[in-house]
Each structure stands twice: as C-alpha cells, then as structure tokens.
Amino acid sequence: MSTANTINLTQIKRQITLVKKVGDQVVIDEKAEKAIAQLFTFQKQLDEALKAVKGQVAEALQPFGAKTLKGKYVTVSVAEPRKDMKYRVDEEAQGKFAKQRITYVVDADKIEEYIEEKGQLPQGVHLSGANKVVRVTVKKEV
C-alpha cells in the first residue's frame, strides 16, 4: 500500500483532540475538523469500493453455483436475503401479502414521572445502557 493511501491514525487522533475556545464557545480546531472530514471521505470511498467488489464476487460465483470464495486473507460469502426481506409490499397489497405487527414504544415521559414520584424505576422497567449517539455530518469532502 502506498503512503498516499495510508491513514496515520496516531496523527489523526492527535489532531482530533485539538479544540479551542472562541469567546464562550468551544469550537473544533480547523486541523481536527479537516481530519474528521477526511476520515468520512475515506469511509465513503472504502464503502463504494467494497460494494463494487461484493457485486463482482456475487456475479463471478453465480455460474459455478458457489456461495463462498475462500482466499489466503479473506473469505467472502454470498447469501440470499431472508424471505421476508426479499419483497416489499405497497399499501394496496398489504392486507393480502403482509402481516400486521404490533410494537410497543417506551413512553419515557411516563417512566420519568413515575421515578420522580416514587424515587425508583417501575417494576419491569430497566435502564437500557444505551450510550450517547455522536453524529458527524460532513458538509464538504476534503
């Protein structure tokens, strides 16, 4: 792999920790912002390349009736989608070709009211352990 295509993670990590304070706001340093944008650019390019390779492998295996391609460094498997993922059904066909599924959604407001009133979680309710979601939007590729 050439140096131009290598990602220096140590350098990027060092750059990402660079923040500065402007007035009363903490803002990302320009170098760190550029490093993050570059990572997303690399990810996009990598995702596109992997998608192309996967398509080529699936196409190449089809005439042989094979489902797996094994090499020294990788094994690539091709699987059919689950039956229920193979089709999509629009509204007019829902009654005939789709099953209704009932789902329950947590009412966090009611749970928090209960906790405030009783000082504990309601019976049968547990903390999910979900972590904070960090979302980065790339405005412009570097």
Residue 26 is assigned to a structural domain of this protein:
yes
Contacts of 100 (CB under 8 A, 6+ apart): none
Residue 70 within any structural domain of the chain: yes
* Residue 55 included in any domain: yes
**Is the per-residue pLDDT at 28 higher than 60?**
yes
Mean pLDDT of 40-67: 89
Name the pLDDT band for 137 (thresholds 50, 70, 90): low
Give, in order, the Cα–Cα distances in Å from 12 to each of 26, 31, 52, 56, 107. Answer: 19, 9, 28, 33, 40
Give the model's pLDDT for residue 108. 92
In the structure encoding, which two tokens stand for residue 28, read together? Answer: 């990302």
The pLDDT score that the predictor gives to residue 1 is 43
CB 101 within 8 A of CB 84: no
Q: What does the pLDDT read at residue 90?
A: 87
24 has pLDDT over 60 = yes
| 92 lies in some domain | yes
> Does the residue 135 lie in any domain?
no
Domain that holds residue 76: 3-118
Task: Give the model's confidence band at 14: pLDDT under 50 very low, under 70 low, under 90 confident, else very high.
Answer: low
Mean per-residue pLDDT, 62-78: 85
Does the residue 125 lie in any domain? Answer: no
Q: Let me know if residue 13 belongs to a domain.
A: yes
Q: Chain-wide mean pLDDT for the chain?
A: 82
- How many separate domains does the chain show? 1
Which whole number is the average pLDDT over 66-71?
84
Q: Is residue 139 part of a domain?
A: no
Which one, of 28, 29, 48, 37, lies nearest residue 138 by Cα?
37
